[in-house]
Amino acid sequence: MNELDKKVEAILFGSGKSVSSSRISNVLNEDEEKIKKSLENLASFYNNLDSSIMIEKIGTKWRMGIRADYVDVISSFIKELELPNALLETISVILYKYPITQSELVKIRSNKAYAHLDQLEELGFIKKEKKGNTYLIKATKQMKDYFDYNNEKEFKDMIKNDV
């Protein structure tokens, strides 16, 4: 495996979703034909490994995923870790606007933010600190560990540089 293959592999693994060869080409500032060849090499490489992991082309995009034979092995684990989209959106607002007050969050996310904050507090993802007539929302170490980031700036950079 050459250096380009390793970079393309890292993008597929890190993105967690299907990515077009043109997007990878733009990110790596590399000729798209080289990227397509690299993707084909990686798909062949993983196929020859007889691994539970595969790289496949779906339409015009490529993705790294788990072979069907192994989906049952991880399905209960994944369900345990999944958070509803609405809750993830609230988390994103909290971290992107950090530090944020409860009243600011409710203005952005509507009254459903109250229930989300209760859930996040129950999960141990946030702490609420009284600030006047509202609360200051603070991210906990548990939230940072769950999303694998060290500080709010790093989170904001992740959003801006989304592959």
Strand-pairing partners, residue 62, are 19, 57
Chain-centre distance for alpha carbon 20 = 17
One-letter amino acid for residue 31 of the chain = D
How far is residue 41 from each of residues 4, 35, 89, 92, 118, measured CA to CA in Å?
Answer: 11, 10, 36, 36, 48
Q: Cβ atoms within 10 A of the Cβ of 7, count?
A: 16
Strand-pairing partners, residue 63, are 56
Rounded CA separation 28/35 (Å): 9
Joined tokens for residue 83: 């958070």
Provide CB contacts within 8 A for 70, sequence distance 6+: 52
Rounded CA separation 93/84 (Å): 15
What the chain holds in terms of domains, given with CATH numbers, is 3-72 (1.10.10.10), 83-160 (1.10.10.10)
Joined tokens for residue 43: 């798909």
Per-residue pLDDT of the chain (163 residues; tens, 9 = 90+): 899 999 999 999 988 788 899 999 999 999 999 999 999 999 999 999 988 899 999 888 999 988 888 877 776 665 555 788 888 889 888 888 888 999 999 999 999 999 999 999 988 889 999 999 999 999 888 887 777 666 666 666 655 554 3
